[in-house]
Structure formats: C-alpha cells, structure tokens
C-alpha cells in the first residue's frame, strides 16, 4: 500500500459531525481523509437551488440552532479560521397559530398560565406537572422519564393531551410516550442540556419564572450552508476530502484499519464514522451485543415544504417561527412548524418553510394535507405562491427517545462514532457538535 494512502485518521461521512471532526482533528495537526458518498458535503446541513426553480434557494429542512451562547458550536468556534464562523441572527419568539390568529408561545410559567389556547383548568394542572418535573429533575438529576408518565393524563382534556403530544413531536420527533422529560424541558428553555451539579440545577428552576426565552437560538445568515462552508473554508492543508466516494468496508488487523471504497483502499489507526450508527455493522464487523443494541435507535421522518412567495406577506412579519395548533385531529400531524426565511428568497420575494413529522408510507397524503392546512390558515399564501419544493428526510439519525444511545468510543479500539445518534443532548446540529466535543475528549 503506498504511503500517500495512509492517514492519522479517516472520517467516514461529510455531514456536519464528520466535517467538524475533520476540522478539529486536522487543526490539531493530524493528517485527515474525509470520505463522503454524495456529491456534496454537508449531509443534512446544506442549502441548494431546487432543480425546477432557478434563483430560489432552500435549506435541508427549517433550522433554529440551539445553545448558541455557550453550547458546542461556540466551544468549537476557535477551530474556525478568522472570519469563517457563521453569523447568526437571533431567532426570537415562537408563536401558536390558531384558527383566530397568532398567540405568543410563553417562556415562563406565569406566561403559560395566561395562554388562551388551553382551558383554564388544564393550564393549572399542567403547570403543576411542569413544576414537579423541573423540581424533581433539579433534585434527583437526569432521570429518564417519559413525558406521558409525568402529565396528569386522567385529569387533562383530550385537546390538551394532543397539545402535549404535538409539542413532544416538535421537540423530539416522537410521541409523548417516547419523549424524555429532559428533552421536553430543555426544548421549552426551562433547563439546559449540559451536565450540572445539584446547586446549578436548583438555581435553574428559577427559569420557570424568569426565562430569557429563546435568546440562545439563531439562524445562520446566508442559510444553513454557511455553517458547512465555514468549516470547509477553515480546513488546514492536512485535511483532504473526497466527494462521491462511498465507504463500503472497514477492516481491522494488527497494523490498523483498512477503509475501502470502489476507488481505493486507505489506511489509518483511527476511523471516525459519522454515518448512521445502525448501518455500521453492515460495513465492518462489530460485537453482536453492540450491533443488537444500536438496532433500538429510532428514527423519525420529516416532511418540509418550502413555499416561495411572489412578495413578502405581512402574516410572516416577525423574526421567529410558529407552530400550528388545533388545526387537524391526527396526533403527530398536529404539529406543523413554520419559519419564514427571507434571506434565502430572491430579492423582493418571500420564503417560508413548513415541517412536520410524517408516516413515511403516507407522504403523498401528508403533502396534500399540509398544503391545504397552510392555505386554510393563511389564505394569502395560496394567492402568492410561486415555488413549491418538498423534502422528505430524517432530521436526526436517531430521535431522542428513552432508549439506549451508543457512546462515542465503540468496542473496537480506534473506531469512534459521532453524530446525532451518539449524543442525547439538545437537538440537530447542536447535538452533532456535542458528539464532536465528546470525540475530542475520548481521543
């Protein structure tokens, strides 16, 4: 094997977790090869022009990046070259869009009690459930209970249970039976995702009354691609990447790993795999028990419809996003998350993305229903429509369930996994960032 095919580490997959792994290890002076099977880098973190609509640009799903003040992206910022770290605009408030208009989604307990969307009795019961969960989490630590197990299900109306279920789908991609209380509280801003001592956790319960809301969430100017582009532009010379090259086999012997693609074999002592963990046993030999455990990872499917508008419309004249509420009666499709993304639209046009979790077998029905719901709630959209582009994708390689998550270090010495199916904290790109921080600690 020629020397030029030997690297300090090989990264399999060029989504944001693979790219950040290559960047950080490369900046530490390691020679890195990153292999991506698609013809573009970024995975689920890309912005592109839909084929039939030149001039329009859309992201791979709508994005609000969490934990931007102290979270993992901020902790990784110093690996970016000067001026390459993206600029984020603040994602302000969340709203509920009801049949009679928008209502701001509260970020404190008193705000929640003032909400019009739920019956008064249910709000008091839910507020009690919320207080109990926050306080018992503060005192007893990271207990992985399901949302379903902490709400007073027999005392709440069907409508309120649907509301809690819809929020669970929004925050984890799964029903309230499978969504952990921690994910729910973090997503609502009542608790942080990092590990905390008891005193810090108790202090955090004050967020129930004085929460700075969603001030740590943002959207990167220039689209989600600017995160991917910032990483690639910061790669030092010792980071090499190949696109359109799928890793089909990883073999290990006493001299290290051999990573094989249809084009070549590459050698290294370390492999960082950032594809779906569940698929790793398909390309390399893993212990049977580990392979069985990773099969438990659950994935949700999201549909996003991008709607290009002839002009910006006043209905979306806010900086934040909205969740549709009480608009249809099938549990998971209760939640539609809509976000205006004016910066991707051509000049003087408008762009909004709407996402929902769908049953992958019923995509066609879901698309029609989603469009009809949007048109009925905001009639101005239908009159203004110029572009419709639909995406069906898995938002994360594993939705945050109560199940087992693998650790970064696999049972095979020198083989590591990163990405959204290896860390339960926060969501999406932030989760991918946490996994890269864990990788750096493990190496």
Ligand X SMILES: Cc1cc2nc3c(=O)[nH]c(=O)nc-3n(C[C@H](O)[C@H](O)[C@H](O)COP(=O)(O)OP(=O)(O)OC[C@H]3O[C@@H](n4cnc5c(N)ncnc54)[C@H](O)[C@@H]3O)c2cc1C
Is 432 among the residues that bind ligand X (CB under 6 A)? Answer: yes
Measured distance CA(443)–CA(439) in Å, rounded = 6
246, 258 contact by CB (below 8 A): no
DSSP line for 107-168: SSHHHHHH-SSS-HHHHHHHHHHHHHHHHHHHHH-----BHHHHS-TTTS-HHHHHHHHHHH
Residues 6+ apart with CB under 8 A from 398: 277, 297, 298, 299, 405, 420, 421
Among 9, 10, 16, 437, binds ligand X (CB under 6 A): 16
Instruction: For ligand X, give the closer residue by CB, 138 or 338.
Output: 338
Is 230 among the residues that bind ligand X (CB under 6 A)? Answer: no
391: which strand partners?
A: 304
Is 172 among the residues that bind ligand X (CB under 6 A)? Answer: no
Among 32, 65, 146, 354, binds ligand X (CB under 6 A): 65
Instruction: For ligand X, give the closer residue by CB, 275 or 350.
Output: 275
Is 58 among the residues that bind ligand X (CB under 6 A)? Answer: no
Among 26, 86, 395, 406, binds ligand X (CB under 6 A): 395
Is 38 among the residues that bind ligand X (CB under 6 A)? Answer: yes
Is 274 among the residues that bind ligand X (CB under 6 A)? Answer: yes
CB of 46 to ligand X, least distance (A): 8
Encode burial over 216-248: b for 16+ CB neighbours within 10 A, e otherwise.
bbbbbebbbbbbbbbbbebbbebbebeeebbbe
CB of 363 to ligand X, least distance (A): 13
Instruction: For ligand X, give the closer residue by CB, 208 or 259.
Output: 259
Site track 409-428 with ligand X (rule: CB under 6 A), x = hit = ----------xx------xx
Is 396 among the residues that bind ligand X (CB under 6 A)? Answer: yes
Reference 384, options 307, 297, 324, 330; nearest CA is 307
97, 117 contact by CB (below 8 A): no
Among 18, 86, 173, 220, binds ligand X (CB under 6 A): 18
Angstrom CA distances, 293 to 174, 277, 366, 406, stand at 19, 10, 32, 8
Looking at residues 139 to 168 of the shown chain, list those that interact with ligand X (rule: CB under 6 A): none
- Kindly give the pairing relationship between strand 58-59 and strand 47-48: antiparallel
**Computed over its alpha carbons, how large is the radius of gyration of the chain?**
22
Stretch binding ligand X (CB under 6 A), from 10-18, 120-128, 186-194, 344-352: 10-18
Stretch binding ligand X (CB under 6 A), from 31-39, 143-151, 234-242, 361-369: 31-39
Instruction: For ligand X, give the closer residue by CB, 125 or 395.
Output: 395
Among 22, 62, 341, 344, binds ligand X (CB under 6 A): 62
Among 8, 103, 246, 269, binds ligand X (CB under 6 A): 246
Among 26, 106, 173, 275, binds ligand X (CB under 6 A): 275
335, 62 contact by CB (below 8 A): no
| SS3 label, residue 365 | helix
Is 227 among the residues that bind ligand X (CB under 6 A)? Answer: no
How many residues of this chain bind ligand X (CB under 6 A)? 38
CB of 100 to ligand X, least distance (A): 27
146: which strand partners?
A: 180
CB of 170 to ligand X, least distance (A): 10
Cβ-based burial of 317 (10 A; exposed 0-12, middle 13-18, buried ≥19): exposed
21, 231 contact by CB (below 8 A): no
Among 268, 430, 436, 437, binds ligand X (CB under 6 A): 430
Site track 323-362 with ligand X (rule: CB under 6 A), x = hit = --------------------------------x-------
Stretch binding ligand X (CB under 6 A), from 60-68, 98-106, 134-142, 326-334: 60-68
Among 37, 104, 242, 252, binds ligand X (CB under 6 A): 37
Reference 318, options 112, 45, 89, 60; nearest CA is 89
| Cα atoms in the 13 Å half-sphere on the side-chain side of 190 | 25
Is 366 among the residues that bind ligand X (CB under 6 A)? Answer: no
Cβ-based burial of 104 (10 A; exposed 0-12, middle 13-18, buried ≥19): middle
Instruction: For ligand X, give the closer residue by CB, 223 or 428.
Output: 428
Instruction: For ligand X, give the closer residue by CB, 162 or 420.
Output: 420
Chain residues binding ligand X by CB under 6 A are 12-18, 35-38, 43-45, 60-65, 246-247, 274-275, 302, 304, 355, 393, 395-397, 419-420, 427-430, 432
């Amino acid at each position: 094997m020629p020397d030029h095919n030997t690297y300090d580490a090989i990264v399999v997959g060029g989504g944001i977790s693979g790219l950040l792994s290559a960047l950080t290890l490369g900046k530490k002076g390691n020679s890195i090869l990153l292999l991506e099977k698609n013809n573009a880098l970024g995975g689920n973190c890309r912005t592109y022009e839909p084929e039939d609509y030149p001039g329009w640009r859309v992201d791979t799903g709508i994005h609000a990046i969490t934990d931007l003040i102290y979270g993992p992206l901020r902790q990784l910022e110093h690996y970016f070259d000067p001026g390459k770290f993206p600029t984020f605009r603040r994602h302000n408030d969340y709203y509920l869009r009801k049949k009679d208009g928008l209502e701001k989604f509260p970020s404190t307990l008193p705000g929640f009690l003032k909400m019009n969307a739920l019956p008064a009795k249910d709000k008091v019961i839910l507020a009690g459930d919320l207080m109990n969960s926050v306080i018992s989490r503060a005192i007893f630590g990271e207990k992985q209970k399901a949302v379903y197990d902490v709400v007073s299900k027999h005392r709440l109306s069907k409508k309120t249970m649907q509301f809690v279920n819809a929020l669970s789908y929004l925050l984890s991609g799964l029903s309230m039976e499978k969504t952990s209380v921690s994910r729910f509280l973090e997503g609502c801003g009542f608790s942080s995702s990092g590990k905390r001592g008891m005193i810090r956790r108790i202090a955090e319960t004050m967020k129930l009354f004085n929460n700075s809301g969603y001030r740590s969430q943002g959207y990167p100017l220039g689209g989600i691609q600017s995160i991917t582009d910032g990483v690639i532009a910061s790669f030092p010379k010792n980071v090499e990447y190949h696109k359109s090259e799928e890793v089909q086999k990883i073999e290990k012997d006493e001299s290290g790993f051999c990573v094989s693609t249809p084009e070549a074999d590459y050698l290294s002592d370390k492999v960082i795999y950032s594809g779906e963990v569940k698929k790793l046993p398909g390309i390399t030999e893993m212990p049977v028990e580990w392979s069985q455990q990773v099969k438990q990872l659950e994935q949700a499917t999201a549909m996003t419809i991008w709607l290009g508008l002839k002009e910006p419309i006043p209905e979306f004249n806010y900086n934040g996003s909205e969740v549709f509420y009480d608009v249809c009666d099938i549990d998971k499709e209760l939640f539609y998350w809509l976000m205006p993304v004016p910066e991707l639209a051509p000049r003087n046009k408008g762009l909004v993305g709407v996402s929902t979790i769908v049953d992958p077998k019923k995509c066609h029905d879901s698309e029609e229903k989603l469009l009809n719901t949007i048109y009925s709630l905001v009639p101005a959209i239908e009159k203004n429509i110029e572009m419709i582009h639909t995406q069906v994708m898995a938002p994360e390689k594993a939705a945050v369930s109560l199940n087992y998550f693998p650790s970064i270090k696999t049972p095979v010495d020198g083989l590591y996994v990163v990405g959204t199916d290896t860390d339960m904290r926060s969501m999406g790109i932030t989760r991918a960032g946490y996994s890269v921080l864990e990788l750096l600690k493990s190496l």
